[in-house]
Each structure stands twice: as structure tokens, then as C-alpha cells.
Amino acid sequence: MPQLPSVLQSPLSPNVELLLDSAIPARMAWVDGDGHPRVVPIWFHWTGEKLAVATFKGAQKLDQIAAGQVVAVTIDSQTFPYRGLKIRGPVELVENDGLSPEYREAAVRYLGPNVADRWCESLAHLDQVTLLITPKWASASDMSDAPFLKETP
Amino acid sequence: MPQLPSVLQSPLSPNVELLLDSAIPARMAWVDGDGHPRVVPIWFHWTGEKLAVATFKGAQKLDQIAAGQVVAVTIDSQTFPYRGLKIRGPVELVENDGLSPEYREAAVRYLGPNVADRWCESLAHLDQVTLLITPKWASASDMSDAPFLKETP
């Protein structure tokens, strides 16, 4: 198994673990066929080794993202003091009959177990492709220890 | 003045106006010198015609983003039902002595007026570059009217 970037190696820092366990959507960027950037919010699931996201067969992004292509992801909190995790690496594409197993796991985190069941049931007739991102580079940040917050007027 | 994409023309929809007035960081993607995607969270300010973001002189992204280069942005809510706005377009780069005026305006939205003053004061010795994004394409979404939410068990 290739070595993970240091911030993703066990034991994870509380900051990184909180972000990977959070219900914050990842924002994933890639380069389209014209060489231009694209970015979308997307549910993720961290497997411990790879960042999994899923999309529906026929989605436009599948025409633009080939196996081995590098994508970039940020998972970051939206209120000050900001915390964040950035990951970049190549994708593997895994076709599923029905929903991606990692998407079902993600749904529980994002919606809670009861609504996740109903949500996935409503989509169970659709086929998904799982994008498995192998982190080649990662960086974490946490502004909660910024000197600014320690200043007194 | 070139025509804006329809979702950014006045009058804005409540969904788009809420997102542009929100304290949600934009997530901005671009293509680096190796042709790979990058993505970061970044404060934004909507001028009514352009999306302004700012970065500090010497920032790595300024080595990777040239005037006229296309960037992609998503501004989206992080809890279900999700609402979002995506914008793509070329950037102009404007050098400032000190902080970008648009950054100061954004700080008030993100931090509130009192902390924004102190925050900007703490950075006032630094020079920023403003990235002015001209929207050539934009799309808004709102899952709060999704059929799923109307379903009864």
C-alpha cells in the first residue's frame, strides 16, 4: 500500500478526524476537456486509505474525469475560526449496480440513519460510479489557534 | 457591459441573493501549471457584476493564475436541503497597496463589523491582489423544493 501523506496517517489529529467524520460536503475540483476548472459540492466517505465520492451514471463529470486523472478536494468548516483539509490525487472509477456502497455510508453521516434509508431507497433504481481518490498530497489547517484570537484590545 | 448569465441578472432570485449575501466561503478552483486542479475556500464579495476575491501578494496561487485565466467557484450551503450557486469565468488581477477594498467589504459579512475592523487592522501592513471574476456561466440550485421532501412514508 502506498504511504499516505502525513496528515492522513494514523493516528489522525482531532482536527482532521473531526473533518473526515463531519457532515460537511467535500468540494471537488477537476479539469474539464477544455482545460478549464470545474468544482462541485459532493458527499464523501473516508475509507481510511481513500476518499470515496459517487456520481450517477450519465453524469457530465464522468465525461470529463478519466481513470488516473488528478482531482482536488477541500473539506472545510464554514464559520470562523476556519478548519480545513485539502487532498489531491488520482481517481479510480468503480462501476456499481445500483448505489455505491460508500455513498450509502456517506448518506448516514449527512442525513442521519432514518432519512438516509429513505433517501437511498428513492434512488435505488439508479446506477452509480464510485470515484476513489488516492491522496498523494494533503494539508490540514486550523485557525482556532491563530494569534489573532489571543489578542486583547 | 457584457450580459450576465441569467441567474445573476437583476432581480436576483431569493435563493441566489441569500447565497451572495451569506457568510459561506466560496470554494474556488483553478488549473495549476502542471494542468492539475486546485481548490481553496476563500472569502468573496459580489459587486453586482463581478465576483471579487482577494489573496496576499506572494501567494502561491498568484504564480498559477494569470490574467484572463478561467476559474470556477461554488457557493453552497452545507446542510440538507442544499442550495448552491456555481460560477465560471475569467479573472482580472488588480494590485492593491494594502488590503483589497472588496476584501474589507467581505470581512464585514464574514466576521461582523467589529471583528472585521480588528481583523483588517491586523493585516493592514500586507498588500493584496484582487481577483475579479467575470461570470460567463452560472447555475443555481435549490433542493428545498425536491419531491423527496414532499413524500410521506
Asked if the C-beta of A56 comes within 8 angstroms of chain B's C-beta atoms, the answer is: no
The predicted structure's pLDDT at residue A153? 66
Average pLDDT over residues B21-31: 98
Average pLDDT over residues B9-33: 98
**Which residue's entry shows cell 501523506?**
A5
| pLDDT tier for residue A64 given thresholds of 50, 70 and 90 | very high
Question: Burial of B62 by CB count in 10 Å (0-12 exposed, 13-18 middle, 19+ buried)?
Answer: middle
Please tell me the class of the A6-137 domain: mainly beta
One-letter amino acid identity for B42? Answer: I
The predicted structure's pLDDT at residue A117? 97
ipTM: 0.97
Average pLDDT over residues B9-17: 98
User: Looking at the partner chain, which of B25, B37, B79 has a beta carbon nearest the beta carbon of A29?
Assistant: B37
Q: Is the pLDDT of residue A45 over 70?
A: yes
3-class SS string, chain B: CCCCCHHHCCCCCHHHHHHHCCCCCEEEEEECCCCCEEEEEECCEECCCCEEEEEECCCHHHHHCCCCCEEEEEEECCCCCCEEEEEEEEEEEEECCCCCHHHHHHHHHHHCHHHHHHHHHHHCCCCEEEEEECCCEEEEEEHHHCHHHHCCC
pTM above 0.95, yes or no: yes
The predicted structure's pLDDT at residue A30? 98
Could you count the other beta carbons within 10 Å of the beta carbon of residue B134?
18
The domain spans of chain A are 6-137
**Which residue's entry shows cell 432514518?**
A114
| Interface test mutation site (partner A, options B19, B24, B36, B86, max chain A beta carbons within 10 A) | B36
If contacts are CB pairs under 8 Å, which of residues 80-119 in chain B contact chain A? Answer: 80, 82, 84, 86, 88, 110-111, 118-119
Question: Burial of A120 by CB count in 10 Å (0-12 exposed, 13-18 middle, 19+ buried)?
Answer: middle
Average pLDDT over residues B29-55: 98
Q: Is the pLDDT of residue B94 over 90?
A: yes
pLDDT tens, A26-38?
999 999 999 999 9
The predicted structure's pLDDT at residue A152? 78
What dotted CATH number matches B6-141? 2.30.110.10
Cα separation, B21 vs B108, whole angstroms: 11
Q: What's CA B39's distance to the chain center, in Å? A: 12
- DSSP classification of residue A79: S
Q: Is the pLDDT of residue B1 over 70?
A: no
